[in-house]
């Protein structure tokens, strides 16, 4: 298994980790097969989406915020989780903490516009992404 260090700088952001995942897969010796990506955090996730237009990432974050708004205070019975980050847990559950990607000739087999994004929902923090050969 390879571990990728992912520092984040905002509470919610999508970090393009495509190059790092490719490097980790190569380090594992994966030429043809797959890599399993896993985020070992309860308030972060992993996804594959369009990386050409940066507005897509912003739109995704705005839509997730509408689905699971961040409430600074947990008083008034909104959320019972005392850390004030219940929205982050929900966003991570909606997006998912693992994904399996194919490798062909030593490269991630992604579509033309696709990139791999680490999804931070409770930053800024120093996070990890685990990559395992399949």
The rounded distance, in Å, linking the Cα atoms of 3 and 74 is 34
33: three-class secondary structure by DSSP: strand
The rounded distance, in Å, linking the Cα atoms of 132 and 130 is 7
The CATH number covering residue 51 comes to 2.60.120.460
Per-residue pLDDT of the chain (134 residues; tens, 9 = 90+): 999 999 999 999 999 999 999 999 999 999 999 999 999 999 999 999 999 999 999 999 999 999 998 876 545 556 667 677 889 999 999 999 999 999 999 999 999 999 999 999 999 999 999 999 99
Cα-Cα-Cα-Cα dihedral sign, residues 65, 6, 52, 96: negative
Which residues, listed in sequence order, are joined to residue 99 by a DSSP beta bridge?
37
The rounded distance, in Å, linking the Cα atoms of 31 and 103 is 6
Domain count, the chain: 1
* Domain of residue 33, residue span: 2-133
The rounded distance, in Å, linking the Cα atoms of 71 and 86 is 9
State the pTM of this model. 0.92
């Amino acid at each position: 298994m390879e571990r990728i260090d992912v520092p984040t700088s905002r509470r919610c952001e999508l970090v393009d980790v495509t190059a790092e995942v490719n490097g980790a897969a190569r380090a594992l010796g994966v030429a043809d097969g797959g890599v399993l990506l896993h985020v070992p955090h309860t308030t972060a996730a992993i996804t594959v989406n369009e990386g050409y237009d940066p507005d897509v990432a912003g739109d995704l974050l705005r839509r997730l915020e509408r689905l699971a708004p961040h409430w600074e205070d947990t008083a008034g019975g909104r959320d019972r989780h005392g850390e004030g980050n219940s929205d982050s847990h929900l966003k991570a559950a909606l997006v998912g903490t693992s994904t399996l990607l194919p490798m062909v000739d030593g490269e991630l087999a992604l579509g033309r516009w696709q990139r791999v994004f680490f999804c931070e929902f409770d930053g800024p923090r120093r996070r990890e992404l685990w990559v395992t050969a399949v």
